[in-house]
């Protein structure tokens, strides 16, 4: 079975409060949600409370949460140390934000430099999207070249340059060896599409052919070293890519927004032993607050070093004298002190003895338990991922890139996920699993039991319709 089956918008969830809130939201918010990723049929579930590994919705149902704000909450919801640290820090500084430089900007930068081999200097943003957007500006300024390459199936934030070929339909995607650049949104200009080259992930020979062809016009390549947070780059592929980009004078950008502090303290680059030129971070480093950071080589990052003559906001005859020689980067909330306090406390917790090892061990135990349970029903299921993030794929074929997912039984996965929402397991259908240090052995046991009930429910439903579930 290929592709996602059509899903009727009947009320399969039967959550009156969420249904009513969604109807009300639709009257004041386009589509009822403020981020498209939060929507799913027949309506998203509205939450009112969270603590640890649990969410409580407006209908008073409790869930074990494996979304964790799409991976940001590695310590779980409302961890006491995060709450206490941010509250005390805000009280101690007498404000919520200075609007000036402050000490935590230095402290966090030192910590990121300590953990990430590819980071010499750091600039803060307010999201991972902003970090990848800034990476483009640095790359073009440093190389004096215009085009950027990305990989099919990889997501780097919702800006035009990269909002192509994230989830292209099979009929639009083109040759596997030379993917078509497919826009994922309205409002993307032809020139933006033309300046973005799409590459095939985990296929080094095909990638090399495209890069050599466009070497003189490519400023950078950006990739998720673990695609979507769950499809790892193969070692030969990513090491080959590093060597080739150095040869061709193309910057290599790692988008570690998902993998940063989730596959290990030093992210995917530390795990692979590959040092990128620029690294985008987000999610975990904010401790649940909006955050982003771009770090990289000193000679690249210093292009943004500010001076009086490069400040576009300085009024006077010298205000733009050298502005075109400096990479502009600014933002009112960049390096927000409360955000950095929460992020630093998160990192301190992950640095403590055995915390990361235990988190990854619990993740692997959940993965193995689920695989064994589905195998007992003769269901072809595998979990793939790295560190504390993974996904469930209903297929017995290797998954190396976006196109391999076309062969997975996503209709079965959709049916299972809908059952799980009614059984107290929260995850947006078809999304990846993120673990936290708040998840317990009891949570894992309940999760496996819920999956067992879910597959039995799907089997019974299909049998009553005279169908086979797979």
The catalytic site residues sit at 155, 255, 283
N- to C-terminal Cα separation, the chain: 7
Nearest Cα neighbor of 267 from 86, 443, 128 is 128
| Residue 289: partners with Cβ closer than 8 Å, 6 or more residues away | 336, 338, 339, 342, 343
Residue 171 DSSP class: T
Write out the two tokens for 3. 């592709």
- Please give the distance of CA 204 from its chain centroid, rounded to a whole number: 23
Residue 113 DSSP class: H
Instruction: Tell me the β-bridge partners of 384.
Output: 391
How many other C-beta atoms can be found within 10 angstroms of the C-beta atom of residue 96? 9
Peptide bond into 391 cis (omega under 30): no
> Cα–Cα distance between 345 and 361 in angstroms, integer?
22
> Cα–Cα distance between 255 and 280 in angstroms, integer?
5
Helix/strand/coil for 173: coil
Instruction: Tell me the β-bridge partners of 279.
Output: 254, 295
> Cα–Cα distance between 232 and 240 in angstroms, integer?
15
Helix (H) or strand (E) holding 338: helix 337-351
> Cα–Cα distance between 265 and 438 in angstroms, integer?
18
> Cα–Cα distance between 268 and 391 in angstroms, integer?
17
Q: Do residues 434 and 67 make contact, with C-beta atoms less than 8 angstroms apart?
A: yes
Q: Do residues 95 and 310 make contact, with C-beta atoms less than 8 angstroms apart?
A: no
Reported residue count of the chain is 470
* Mode of pairing for the β-strands spanning 54-57 and 62-65: antiparallel
Helix (H) or strand (E) holding 254: strand 251-255
Helices 441-464 & 410-422, crossing angle to 10 degrees? 120
């Amino acid at each position: 079975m290929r592709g996602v089956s059509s899903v009727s918008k009947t009320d399969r969830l039967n959550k009156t409060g969420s249904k009513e809130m969604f109807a009300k939201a639709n009257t004041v918010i386009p589509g009822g949600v403020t981020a498209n990723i939060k929507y799913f049929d027949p309506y998203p579930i509205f939450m009112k409370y969270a603590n640890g590994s649990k969410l409580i919705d407006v209908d008073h149902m409790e869930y074990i949460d494996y979304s964790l704000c799409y991976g940001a909450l590695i310590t779980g919801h409302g961890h006491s140390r995060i709450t206490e640290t941010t509250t005390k820090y805000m009280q101690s500084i007498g404000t919520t934000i200075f609007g000036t430089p402050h000490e935590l900007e230095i402290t966090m930068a030192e910590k990121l430099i300590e953990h990430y081999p590819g980071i010499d200097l750091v600039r803060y943003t307010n999201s991972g999207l902003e970090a990848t957007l800034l990476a483009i500006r640095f790359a073009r300024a440093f190389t004096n070249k215009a085009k950027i390459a990305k990989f099919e199936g990889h997501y780097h934030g919702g800006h035009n340059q990269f909002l192509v070929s994230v989830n292209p339909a099979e009929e639009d995607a083109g040759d596997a060896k030379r993917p078509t650049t497919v826009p994922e949104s309205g409002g993307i200009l032809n020139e933006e599409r033309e300046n973005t080259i799409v590459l095939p992930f985990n296929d080094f020979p095909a990638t090399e052919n495209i890069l050599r062809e466009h070497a003189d016009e490519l400023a950078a390549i950006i990739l998720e070293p673990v695609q979507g947070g769950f499809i790892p780059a193969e070692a030969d592929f990513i090491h080959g890519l590093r060597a080739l980009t150095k040869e061709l004078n193309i910057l290599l950008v790692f988008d570690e927004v998902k993998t940063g502090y989730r596959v290990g303290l030093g992210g995917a680059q530390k795990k692979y032993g590959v040092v990128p030129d620029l690294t985008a971070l987000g999610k975990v480093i904010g401790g649940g607050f909006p955050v982003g950071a771009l770090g990289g080589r000193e000679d690249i990052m210093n292009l943004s070093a500010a001076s009086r003559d490069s400040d576009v906001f300085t009024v006077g005859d010298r205000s733009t004298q050298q502005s075109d020689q400096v990479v502009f980067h600014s933002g009112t909330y960049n390096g927000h002190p409360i955000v950095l306090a929460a992020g630093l406390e998160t990192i301190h917790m992950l640095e403590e003895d055995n915390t990361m090892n235990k988190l990854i061990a619990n993740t692997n135990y959940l993965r193995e338990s689920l695989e064994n349970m589905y195998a007992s029903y003769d269901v072809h299921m595998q979990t793939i991922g790295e560190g504390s993030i993974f996904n469930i794929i209903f297929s017995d074929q290797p998954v190396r890139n976006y196109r391999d997912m076309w062969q997975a039984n996503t209709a079965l996965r959709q049916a299972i996920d809908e059952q799980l929402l009614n059984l107290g397991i929260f995850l947006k259908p078809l999304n990846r699993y993120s673990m936290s240090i708040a998840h317990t052995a009891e949570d894992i046991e309940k999760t496996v039991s819920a999956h067992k009930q879910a597959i039995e429910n799907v089997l019974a439903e299909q049998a009553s319709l005279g169908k086979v579930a797979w």
